[in-house]
């Protein structure tokens, strides 16, 4: 929580930081959503960061529960149902703070940057919002269509 | 005899003796077959009922007497208990316990107890949020919750008496097994092999809930309770601290070997038999060595937990072949003598016959198609792996048979002393696997493997009658889906099981002929039981509500497009129908009056 407040504070103050460490900026946020969303994912259109997110998805054992998106111990992430919301903030919060029905909090194990990369990858698991930046091949035993070949999500979710 | 000491039954037997039906009842009144006092039916794990009112001549007339909702969804794997004039059941998470009054045909609810386990425990249940049943002793119903607590509830009133936390679910530790009562102890083990949780079995004092002893499945001998009494039959199980030395570094500390199957007890030998589950992680390259004492079976003294012998079904397990399947205690004529043996259908595909006093393997025969091994060497006791199917980190291994749930998973077998056949609910599945290094992050899965299962369209399920003396299949039926329910055998020469697409079936125990089938509202992965109600008549009960590992595609609303979902089971279960009503229910069947 402290971590998120700090991040929000940095965003509100609009200070620019090394993009690798804290790539979000208030200017970008305004351009992307134009909404009151406190946090938008800077990596939503970054194919390299999304590929890195996919690697982290296995490294932190996310795949052990969510598989390649079909779910298992954890919910499916490749379908249209988002129990806690499909927006960047909700996905980031799920990863960092956890959720009451079993999603553990990874905030103490991940850097903020890693969490954003993971969140950006998770948003590609059901196809959208940007098919062009979604991974197009499986690094593993192929048991489903790669992310870039899944049904794109409705544009309104972007 | 044991049961007559219980006041409720004594009172009932007395009442029946005084009633007009006394003559009919007296003969069977002392028979434990009237009740279903533990999940396994009896200590020998036979799941055999000596009741014979429902038999091969009248089972066609069997009708649904009662259907009561449980209030829970997902996989209902528990066995109902019947003690006196009550039927007790436990639901999947949130593990509510319900007591029904058997004195009335409509089974009114006597009480409902809600232990309120932590919702977050759902996230660390590898194979659906199941419970496999309750224990009963001293007027207490013994409950184990998914968030790893043991609780005693007053059987008469449903009032909580004590509560003992046994583990930390935030590290991935859960409890799904049915507590087993031996003497004044409740024996309960943990689940969590998919999280690298170190396996244990604990003995709790039934009256107080205090932990009397605990025995780990990995680590130093003192933790495993190996002392002077420990005399394993095979040389590979002898040595100091093998639970440490057969692992690299401190890998034993998150090495699995959980204890979540059904326990058996032999009062004559005073030995409790329990299996140990798979080692962690699944990727075998990360744990060179035999990985004692995982994927094997212990014989222990119930009073102290001391081990007397151990045998390892799958040393250095390669495919998630847990060793927790039930051990059925029977006496068999072998080599001209009657021997006290245990029958064990393992996930690795072999039907083992062991001398239960010593742990010697007398025979081990395949009961499905196996390509992961070439047999069991009876001289050394070793499973002979086929290297072609050994997963190697970063590589793909195709067509591994049987798949990770094995030739048979948790779904318990039944034994009939009349036919001398072992009735196995099970599956025939193969899989592809790719392994990779897994990082141990407590509370997250510790696997290092992606698997994708496959079964033939004609039938992934099997119901097999096995003749352990002739060492062959006597007869077999195929089912579309894995048979994930337990089996029940009765003195009416019937065997019962249920299917994941919702048929409850009765077969002729001699030849497997289908004699009766009943459509349930949902698929069943329950354990059928038989009992005699206070009205003097025989009834058959089972829970319906599809789920478990095999049914998680429905229970967990998994996306069927990803075959690796649900631990790779989705690929083999894409066509499992979702019931329109997902709520679980208790069904009771009897003959019409």
The string of pLDDT tens digits covering residues B41-78 is 999 999 999 999 999 999 999 999 999 999 999 999 99
Q: Residue A158 pLDDT more than 80? A: no
CB of B519 within 8 A of CB of B501?
no
B320 is catalytic: yes
Give percent of chain B with pLDDT exceeding 70.
Answer: 94
To the nearest whole angstrom, how far is the Cα of A91 from the nearest Cα of chain B?
A: 17
Of A70, A73, A109, the CB nearest to B123: A73
User: Rg of chain B over CA atoms, in angstroms?
Assistant: 22
Phi, psi of B418 (to 5 degrees): -80, -45
Q: At what angle do helices A88-97 and A112-124 cross, to 10 degrees?
A: 120
SS3 state at B137: strand
What residues in A contact B445, CB-CB < 8 Å?
61, 64-65, 73
Tokens of B571: 């690929």
Tokens of B413: 């077998």
Of A62, A70, A100, the CB nearest to B562: A70
Name the closest residue on chain B to residue A99, using Cα atoms: B120
- Report the candidate in B338, B359, B380 with the shortest Cα–Cα distance to residue B229: B359
Quick check: A83 contacting B, CB < 8 Å? no
Asked if B447 lies within 8 A of A78 by C-beta distance, the reply is no
- Alpha carbon distance, N-terminus to C-terminus of chain A: 25
B386-395 pLDDT, tens digit per residue, is 999 999 998 9
Asked if A101 lies within 8 A of B560 by C-beta distance, the reply is no
Pairing of strands B48-49, B488-490: parallel
CB of B293 within 8 A of CB of B242?
yes
Beta bridge partners of B434: B396, B450
- Which residues, 6+ apart, have CB-to-CB distance to B371 below 8 Å? B386, B388, B389, B399, B400, B401
- Report the candidate in B480, B476, B477 with the shortest Cα–Cα distance to residue B502: B480
CB of A60 within 8 A of CB of A135?
no
CB atoms inside a 10 Å sphere around CB B392:
13
Asked if A67 lies within 8 A of B556 by C-beta distance, the reply is no
Quick check: B178 contacting A, CB < 8 Å? no
To the nearest whole angstrom, how far is the Cα of B278 from the nearest Cα of chain A?
A: 16
Quick check: B396 contacting A, CB < 8 Å? yes
According to the model, what pLDDT value does residue A153 have?
52
Return the residue matching tokens 């059904």: B262
- Report the candidate in B486, B456, B484 with the shortest Cα–Cα distance to residue B575: B456
CB of B323 within 8 A of CB of B347?
yes
B190 is catalytic: no
According to the model, what pLDDT value does residue A98 have?
97
Tell which wins on pLDDT, B20 or B479. B479
Q: Residue B406 pLDDT more than 70? A: yes
Q: Residue A29 pLDDT more than 80? A: no
Omega cis (within 30) before B176: no
| HEC profile of A101-126 | CCCCCCCCCCCHHHHHHHHHHHHHCC
Asked if A143 lies within 8 A of B552 by C-beta distance, the reply is no
DSSP assignment letter at B133: B
Chain A window 94-153: which residues touch B at a Cβ cutoff of 8 Å? 98, 100-104, 109, 140-141, 143-145, 150
Of A61, A62, A68, the CB nearest to B562: A68
Distance CA A7, CA A39 (A): 9
Return the residue matching tokens 């386990």: B117
Tokens of B370: 């196996």
Q: Which of A12-21, A75-84, B91-100 has the highest mean pLDDT?
A: B91-100
According to the model, what pLDDT value does residue A19 have?
36
According to the model, what pLDDT value does residue B156 have?
98
Return the residue matching tokens 């208990």: B81
Q: How confident is the model at residue A152 (pLDDT cuts 50, 70, 90)?
A: low
Tokens of A89: 């903030």
- Alpha carbon distance, N-terminus to C-terminus of chain B: 31
Tokens of B291: 């990985």
Alpha helices in B493-565 (DSSP H): 548-555
- Identified catalytic residue from B42, B77, B173, B194: B194
CB of B243 within 8 A of CB of B287?
no
Q: Residue B216 pLDDT more than 70? A: yes
CB of B37 within 8 A of CB of B561?
no
- Which residues, 6+ apart, have CB-to-CB distance to B451 below 8 Å? A141, B403, B404, B431, B432, B433, B434, B564, B567, B568
CB of B371 within 8 A of CB of B401?
yes
Quick check: B571 contacting A, CB < 8 Å? yes
- Identified catalytic residue from B95, B278, B283, B327: B278
User: Span B239-261, mean pLDDT?
Assistant: 98
- Report the candidate in B514, B529, B547 with the shortest Cα–Cα distance to residue B588: B529
Q: Residue A1 pLDDT more than 80? A: no
According to the model, what pLDDT value does residue B557 have?
95
Quick check: B203 contacting A, CB < 8 Å? no
Q: Residue A142 pLDDT more than 70? A: yes
B137-188 pLDDT, tens digit per residue, is 999 999 999 999 999 999 999 999 999 999 999 999 999 999 999 999 999 9
Distance CA B374, CA B378 (A): 12
Q: How confident is the model at residue A38 (pLDDT cuts 50, 70, 90)?
A: low
Q: How many interchain CB pairs under 8 A, A with B?
A: 123
Our measurement of the distance from residue B273's CA atom to the centroid of its chain's CA atoms, rounded to an integer in Å, reads: 13
SS3 state at A97: helix
According to the model, what pLDDT value does residue A129 have?
72
- Report the candidate in B574, B526, B562 with the shortest Cα–Cα distance to residue B546: B526
What residues in B contact A59, CB-CB < 8 Å?
439
To the nearest whole angstrom, how far is the Cα of B562 from the nearest Cα of chain A?
A: 5
């Amino acid at each position: 929580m402290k971590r998120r407040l700090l991040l929000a504070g940095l965003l509100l103050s609009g200070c620019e930081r090394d993009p690798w460490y804290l790539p979000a900026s208030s200017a970008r946020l305004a351009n992307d959503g134009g909404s009151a969303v406190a946090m938008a994912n800077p990596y939503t259109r970054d194919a390299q960061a999304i590929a890195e997110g996919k690697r982290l998805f296995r490294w932190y054992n996310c795949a052990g529960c969510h598989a390649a998106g079909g779910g298992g111990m954890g919910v499916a992430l490749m379908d249209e149902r988002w129990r806690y919301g499909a927006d960047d903030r909700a996905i980031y919060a799920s990863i960092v703070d956890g959720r009451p029905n079993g999603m553990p909090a990874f905030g103490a194990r991940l850097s903020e940057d890693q969490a954003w990369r993971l969140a950006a990858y998770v948003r590609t698991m059901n196809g959208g919002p940007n098919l062009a930046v979604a991974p197009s091949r499986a690094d593993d035993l192929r048991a489903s269509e790669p992310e870039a070949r899944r049904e794109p999500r409705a544009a309104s979710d972007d | 005899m044991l049961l007559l000491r219980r006041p409720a039954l004594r009172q009932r037997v007395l009442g029946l003796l005084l009633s007009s039906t006394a003559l009919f009842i007296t003969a069977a009144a002392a028979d434990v077959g009237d009740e279903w006092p533990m999940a396994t039916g009896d200590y020998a794990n036979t799941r055999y009922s000596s009741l014979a009112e429902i038999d091969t001549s009248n089972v066609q007339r069997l009708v649904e007497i009662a259907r009561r909702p449980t209030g829970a969804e997902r996989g209902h794997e528990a066995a109902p208990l019947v003690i006196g004039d009550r039927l007790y059941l436990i639901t999947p998470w949130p593990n509510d316990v319900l007591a029904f009054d058997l004195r009335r045909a409509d089974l009114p609810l006597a009480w409902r107890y809600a232990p309120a386990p932590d919702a977050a425990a759902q996230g660390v249940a590898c194979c659906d949020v199941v419970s496999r049943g309750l224990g009963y002793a001293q007027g207490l119903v013994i409950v184990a919750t998914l968030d790893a607590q043991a609780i005693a509830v007053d059987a008469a009133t449903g009032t909580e008496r004590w509560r003992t936390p046994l583990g930390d679910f935030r590290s991935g530790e859960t409890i799904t097994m049915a507590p087993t009562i031996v003497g004044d102890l409740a024996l309960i083990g943990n689940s969590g092999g998919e999280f690298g949780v170190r396996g244990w079995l604990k003995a709790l004092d039934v009256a107080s809930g205090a932990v009397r002893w605990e025995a780990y499945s990995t680590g130093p001998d003192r933790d495993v309770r190996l002392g002077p009494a420990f005399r394993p039959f095979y040389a590979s199980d002898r040595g100091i601290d093998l639970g440490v030395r057969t692992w690299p570094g401190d890998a034993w500390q998150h090495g699995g070997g959980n204890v979540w199957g059904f326990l058996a007890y032999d009062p004559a030998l005073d030995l409790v038999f329990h299996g140990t589950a798979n080692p962690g992680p699944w990727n075998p390259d990360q744990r060179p060595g035999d990985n004692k004492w995982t994927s094997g079976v212990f014989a222990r003294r119930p009073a102290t937990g001391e081990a007397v012998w151990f045998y390892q079904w799958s040393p250095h397990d390669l495919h998630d072949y847990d060793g927790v399947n039930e051990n059925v205690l029977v006496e068999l004529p072998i080599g001209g003598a009657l021997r006290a043996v245990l029958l064990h259908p393992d996930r690795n595909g072999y039907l083992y016959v062991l001398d239960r006093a010593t742990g010697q393997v007398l025979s081990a025969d395949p009961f499905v198609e196996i390509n992961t091994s070439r047999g069991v060497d009876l001289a050394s006791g070793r499973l002979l792996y086929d290297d072609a199917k050994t997963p190697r980190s970063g590589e793909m291994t195709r067509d591994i048979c049987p798949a990770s749930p094995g030739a048979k998973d948790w779904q318990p077998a039944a034994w009939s002393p009349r036919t001398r056949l072992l009735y196995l609910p099970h599956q025939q599945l193969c899989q592809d696997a790719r392994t990779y290094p897994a990082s141990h992050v407590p509370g997250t899965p510790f696997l290092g493997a992606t698997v994708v299962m496959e079964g033939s369209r004609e039938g992934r399920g099997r119901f097999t009658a096995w003749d352990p003396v002739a060492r062959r299949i006597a007869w077999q039926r195929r089912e579309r889906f894995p048979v994930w329910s337990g089996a029940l055998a009765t003195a009416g020469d019937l065997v019962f099981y249920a299917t994941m697409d919702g048929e409850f079936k009765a077969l002729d125990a001699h030849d497997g002929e289908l004699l009766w089938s009943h459509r349930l509202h949902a698929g069943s992965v329950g354990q059928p039981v038989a009992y005699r109600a206070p009205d003097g008549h025989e009834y058959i009960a089972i829970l319906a509500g599809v789920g478990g590992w095999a049914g998680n595609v429905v229970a967990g609303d998994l996306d069927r497009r990803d075959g690796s979902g649900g631990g790779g089971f989705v690929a083999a279960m894409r066509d499992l129908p979702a019931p329109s009503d997902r709520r679980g229910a208790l069904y009771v069947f009897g003959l019409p009056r």
